[in-house]
Amino acid sequence: MKLSGGLQLKGSTTIRDLDLYPRDDDALGMKLFGLVSGALSKGRPAPAVFLFSESVIDKFAYRSFADHPPQVRRRILGALAGQDHIECLAMIGSLRFRGKGPLNGSWVASVFIEWPDNRWWTAWQPIGPRGGLVGDEPQIRTAIDGSPRPGGLGGWFALARRTGLRLRVHRDSVPVH
């Protein structure tokens, strides 16, 4: 996929199957967390960005723009979120936990989803030294339950509105089923 302005992101587009990627916040979050936890058998899954519209999902490898400074990465995510007809944006994969306490710096399986109305949903669970999840269930937090948004994630739709960010995505092809 090529984005206006010459920036190219490694990604793909698929038709959205609502059984696999439902519209309900919790159901979508748990499906995405299942993707991440299921991928652990092959090693730590690299972070990816999923951009959901009504009928398609654009999936981008985060590493295709991870070398940019944090403020540029944030603007890229905001510009992706600023496109017309985007239902939500998700960041999924294994990430280093940033926070206070004994988990700081540890690898976690993580999902963070944000919607245009600024609500968000997140789940994370530590990854142990042998590559499996530690604990029985992921920690789940949402904007709706009053939890503070995790630092460094989200705010992409608000940034797009505030600054007028919007990218035109040029897809090489969209699969037909």
Q: What is the pLDDT of residues 124-146, one digit of tens each?
A: 999 999 999 999 999 999 999 99
Q: Rounded to an integer, what distance in angstroms lies between the CA atom of residue 47 and that of residue 169?
A: 20
Domain for residue 30, yes or no? yes
* Number of domains the chain is built from: 1
Residue range 99-119: mean pLDDT, rounded = 91
Tens digits of per-residue pLDDT, 35-57? 999 999 999 999 999 999 999 99
Q: Is the separation of the CB atoms in 43 and 131 below 8 Å?
A: yes
Pairing of strands 11-15, 2-3: unpaired
Residue 168 CB partners (closer than 8 Å, separation 6+): 3, 4, 83
Domain for residue 177, yes or no? no
Domain for residue 108, yes or no? yes
Window from 42-56, 100-114, 161-175 with minimum mean pLDDT: 161-175
Task: Copy the structure tokens of residue 74.
Answer: 């944030």
Domain for residue 176, yes or no? no
Q: Where are the alpha helices (DSSP H) in 3-155?
A: 25-39, 70-81
Give the position of tokens 């960005």.
49
Domain for residue 73, yes or no? yes
Instruction: Count Cβ atoms below 10 Å from residue 25 Cβ, excluding itself.
Output: 17
Domain for residue 41, yes or no? yes
Q: What is the pTM of this model?
A: 0.89
pLDDT the model gives residue 2: 43
Domain for residue 31, yes or no? yes
Domain that holds residue 48: 2-170
Q: Is the separation of the CB atoms in 40 and 132 below 8 Å?
A: yes
Domain for residue 36, yes or no? yes
